[in-house]
Structure 1
Amino acid sequence: MMSSIRLGARLGACGSGYGRKGPLAVMAEAERPDTRLRLMAVHAHPDDESSKGAATMAKYVAEGYDVMVVTCTGGEAGSVLNPAMDRPEVRANMTEIRREEMARAAKILGVRHRWLGFVDSGLPEGDPPPPLPEGCFALLPLAEATAPLVQAMREFRPHVVVTYDENGGYPHPDHIRCHEVSVAAFDAAADPVAYPEAGEPWQPLKLYYSHGFSRAKMQAFHEALVDAGMESPYAEWLEKWGEDKADVMERVTTRVECADHFEVRDDALRAHATQIDPNSRWFAVPLDVQRKLWPTEEYELVRSLVDTTLPEDDLFAGIREEG
């Protein structure tokens, strides 16, 4: 069933609304002959951009859109997850190495990249979990953590912003804080009273949550591997998921077909060599099987200042582009 919708007030409690600069003014700027439509993807750590929506970004880059990845933290608290990279000299230089990996991934994807410069909060483990490190991203006051993202939005002027849902995709403190600052910045970027030192106000037109890891998708891949007589890395994951837990596919409004760019996505993933084992589940399903079974990446539209029709197949649906 298709429905026409405008979601201008859905997240109204999270900020000041639309600011003083309405969507029509922003649309007029979008139509200038020297500008392109712009997409900003906000992520918590380096490598998140390659595992969540990378093929979508590569698709839009190939089609001539301007795409920027914003990374909130340096990922310096991350463990080395690739056995081939687990060496003392790597562990001792994680900050520098992860910056180099991010630069390679951005080049592969063809996107602009911007660091916000916050300290990785790490993922506390234990019972009870240890306290987060002082001064880390997740513990900063929300206004302080939001400020540099507002500046990035006002400088890049995205029409579409993509981030995580209220659960962060999974409950890592930095992912949850990434959600919070993204929603706050979406509103504040348009408000001339908020962060006046951060530049000329700009109103993004649409806000999406990325939903890359659904039970339905993992189930489809698991069954395909089993049917082919191959070992599936998803069996344990599906068992832990549980039948009674809601699938994020129930929230999806937008499916972007981007199968032609899965290879670019995988190359970007491999660029994060400290985090991605080339023999891991990320690459368990052959690309031709992925393209046949699940050729899309999924999103939830949570704010739109333009009219659009759901379900969508384009993040820029409803945003007019001058030809």
Structure 2
Amino acid sequence: MSAAEDGLRLLHVHAHPDDESSKGAASTAYYVARGTRVMVVSCTGGEEGEILNPKLDTPQNWARLPDLRREEMAAAAQILGIEHVWLGYRDSGFPDGPDWKPTTPEAFALADVGEAAGRLVRVIRDFRPQVLTTYDERGGYPHPDHIKTHTVSMAAVEAAADATRFPEHGQPWQVSKVYYQMGFHRGRYAALDEAMHAHGLESPYAQRLADWSQDADARLRPTTFVPAADFFEVRNQALLAHATQIDPDGFWFAVPLEIEKKGWPTEDFQLARSTVPVSLPEDDLFAGIAEAGESRVGPWCYSI
């Protein structure tokens, strides 16, 4: 039975437009090609972002950056073949010192967790995903919107399955598996660093590996390796659609595609919770779900 016939659905919850393209985009394209419905939630509009492409760093683009971010997101969504929802909060910006605070009360970092979780509960109950991905408790990196995305995602997964919570948002739905995005771990960087040197090329990861902390090694524990190499080109196209945010001559494209495909041919995730039996490591976000059938309200049988 095909994924479309199974009704498999995957929900990615991200902080900003472009996160869906820089984190797990090849896996997204892989599942879309298999007939899975994939939806991305962008918690904010990316209004406080910078222009990271020097060719587009103009006063005109700065003046309309919020609109540009939405246009870029629409283009990336079309490339990836996904459905997309804005959760409706404003980008909080990145802290620039100990006295930093968001510039607007609409900032996601200031949002009430219960209120924000309620918005996401409505999406979960409408879309009914068996699998949801988000960030770990540190946000993947310490941006307040990424950390808040983790908190809100986990709260919404719990609330969506509880018939007493947010009854106005539809029938309860239990997400079967929750994953953390885990693309930036030491194993991947080390393998690509070695592959670049083997081809006589300078690696963009040498300093990153030298600075890697033992704490990060202990925390970043990928469990699930999706064979998405055939969709790395699609990922790159989606990245380039976020033209203000991606320097086409920069870090993201420093490793040639053929070297990347051979050096680390997967995109990686960490299983955080599951209501179905699991056997780790795994190569499919939906492993165990076909055998278990449709998601149901029930206890977690795997939780980190």
Confirm or deny that 1:93 pairs with 2:64: yes
Aligned to 2:228, which of 255, 258, 261? Answer: 258
Written as runs of structure 1 = structure 2, the 5 A alignment for 1:78-157 is 78-126=49-97, 128-133=98-103, 134-157=105-128
Task: Sort the Cα spacing of 1:178 and 1:287 in 2 relative to 1 into closer, same or farther, 3 A.
Answer: same
Equivalent residue, structure 1, for 2:297: none
Give the structure 2 partner of residue 279 of structure 1. 249
CA distance, structure 2, for counterparts of residue 224 and residue 41 of structure 1: 30
Alpha-carbon distance change, 65 to 106 in structure 1, aligned in 2, over 3 angstroms: same
Task: List per-residue Cα deviations over 1:27-52 (Å, max 9, x = no partner).
Answer: xxxx9996611000000000000011
Which structure would you say has the larger RCO, counting Cα contacts within 8 Å and 6 or more residues apart? 1
The equivalent residue for 2:298 is none
Among residues 49, 74, 85, which one is paired with 2:45 in the alignment? 74
Q: TM-score, normalised by structure 2?
A: 0.91
Aligned residues: 291
Q: Is the 8 A contact 1:75 1:95 kept in 2?
A: yes
Counterpart mapping for 1:28-67 below 5 A: 36-67=7-38
Aligned residues with identical type, % of pairs:
57
Contact 1:211 1:248 (C-alpha < 8 Å) held by counterparts: no
1:195 is displaced (CA, Å) by 1.1
Q: TM-score of the superposition, structure 1-length normalised?
A: 0.86
The verdict on how the C-alpha distance between 1:184 and 1:89 changes in structure 2, with shifts beyond 3 A counting, is same
Query: Which of 183, 188, 212 is residue 159 of structure 2 equivalent to?
Result: 188
Does the alignment pair 1:167 with 2:138? yes
Q: What is the correspondence of 1:234-273 to structure 2 with a 5 Å cutoff?
A: 234-242=205-213, 244-247=214-217, 251-273=221-243
Which is further off, 190-199 or 259-268? Answer: 190-199
Contact 1:42 1:71 in 2 (8 A): yes
Displacement of 1:216 in angstroms is 1.9
Judged with a 3 Å threshold, the aligned counterparts in structure 2 of structure 1 residues 117 and 302 are, in CA distance, closer, same or farther, namely same
Equivalent residue number for residue 300 of structure 2:
none
Distance 2:258 2:244 in 1: 27
What do residues 228-277 of structure 1 show as CA deviations (whole Å, max 9, x unaligned)?
332332222223324x3432685211111110000000000000011000
CA distance in 1 between counterparts of 2:3 and 2:222 reads: 32
5+ long unaligned stretches in structure 1: 1-30
Equivalent residues in 2 for 1:222-237, closer than 5 Å:
222-237=193-208
